[in-house]
Amino acid sequence: MFSRNFKAVSTLSALGLALSLVFSLDASARHNKPERGIAGLSWMAGSWAGEHDGGVIEEHWMLPSGKSMVGMSRLVVGEKTAFWECLRIVERDDGSVVYLAQPAGRCPPVEFLMTSAEVGSVTFENPRHDDPQVIRYTLSEEGKTLTAVTEGESKGQRTVHETVMKSASLR
């Protein structure tokens, strides 16, 4: 009798453990899914700065509002602004999200379609553009660094650039 009850309790315990794992994994998966559209990119908002190409690069992103995020980037080498660009991320009426880059104010902007997004990570792509073709942002687990990776092709060679930026405050 004890043996049969022990087996029943063991089976129920194993079943309970399995169900609790399934529910916790399901809750974890839901927790890691971003909000739909541009609202899911609020983790990018803020001021970020890091070393890049012998200088300091800064990116500043506003919180999502009105189906857009507005940002800017500049690279300062020594006492000179070596590069700057206006940035926007826009949610279109069809629900697609695009990253619009305007290096040195270029018009029209270069468009990159959001192809994947998770909490703390987003990828934008434009395979028809030369360099970059891919733009990926990843937030560290502790939320203190934002890594930007661009991939593309320049002069027939594959390019990959990674910039790690720390959270920065404006003075």
User: Hey, where are the domains in the chain?
Assistant: 1-32, 37-167
The SS3 assignment for 154 reads strand
**Residue 137 identity:** Y
pLDDT band at 33 (very low <50, low <70, confident <90, very high): low
Residue appearing with tokens 């909490």: 119
CA distances from 46 to 36, 110, 157 (A): 20, 23, 33
The DSSP bridge partners found for residue 146 are 139, 165
The C-alpha atoms of residue 97 and residue 122 are separated, in whole angstroms, by 11
pLDDT digits (tens, 9 = 90+) for 125-166: 999 998 999 999 999 999 999 999 999 998 899 999 999 999
- pTM, to two decimals: 0.78
The C-alpha atoms of residue 58 and residue 165 are separated, in whole angstroms, by 8
| Assigned fold of 37-167 | Lipocalin (2.40.128)
Contact between 42 and 67 (Cβ < 8 Å): no
> Please, what is the average pLDDT of the chain?
85
pLDDT at 36: 77
